[in-house]
Amino acid sequence: MERDYSKLFRLDGKHAVVVGAGSGIGRESALALAAQGARVTCADRDLAAAEETVSRGEHLTAYRVDVLDEDAIIRAAAELQDVDVLVFTAATNVRKRILDYTGEEFDRVVALNLRASFDLIRAFGGPMAERGSGSIMGFSSIRATTVEPGQSVYAATKAGLVQLLRTAAAELGPSGVRVNAIAPGVVETPLTAQIKANQAWYDAYAQKGALGRWATPDELAGAVVYLASDASSFVTGSVLHVDGGWTAVDGRFDPPN
């Protein structure tokens, strides 16, 4: 049967859950998935923020979940049945050099960036495998491969997330579930507000990539729709960089002609 390419990115009849849908990349991802026909559950610890996302589109429902609570994730997976697509964006960062880091800060970053991801994959991946289909995507970062002083634990969690997702792809693939990572570059979100407040720091980041600027959250939504849709039916265990060329460009010196 020939594929109908006019519907390649459509998600009609699909149920997507976006964790972290109350702001930033999560919000734009939820809106984009809904625009392609999906029924989207906008999950967030901040219910009011999730409801704000819901007010901006159609086929959207708000749902409160704290992903630091494993039992809450298990309940969510049980209540939000027949999930075809899982997207999770929630993350935190403590920018400190290793010698200045505390054990509490280490645990806090790992708990949200890595342990919560582990719990989400298990809770939602199991039912997907039983149904024989599904797409899971987690947000890694350019910091999974390129680092700078002050990014140690964040970078470690984002690199660890890539390997966690790749392993899930290997284990769930035979059951028809695809699992991928999206690795953004610098994006104007609440997580990067500290950098944006420092003009020199902000400009340095903008100049690092090939496009010479930061991304806005909506520029990540296309990657989410792609990985959720049949357009990526043979894509799993991959890392999709949406970084404006950051990881492709050395950026330290522009040689003369």
Whether 226 is catalytic is: no
Neighbour-count burial of 130, counting CB atoms closer than 10 A to its CB (0-12 exposed, 13-18 middle, 19+ buried)? exposed
Long-range contacts of 99-107 (CB under 8 A, 24+ apart): 101/152, 101/153, 105/153, 106/153
Structure-token pair, residue 36: 């392609």
Which one is catalytic: 63, 154, 205, 226?
154
Query: Would you tell me how many other CB atoms lie within 10 Å of the CB of residue 61?
Result: 17
Question: How far is residue 72's CA from residue 154's CA, in Å, rounded to a whole number?
Answer: 24
Are the C-beta atoms of 61 and 42 separated by less than 8 Å?
Answer: yes
The span from the CA of 9 to the CA of 225, in Å, is 7
- Burial label for 41, CB within 10 Å (0-12, 13-18, 19+), is buried
What is the distance between the terminal CA atoms of the chain, rounded to a whole angstrom? 53
Catalytic positions, written as ranges: 154
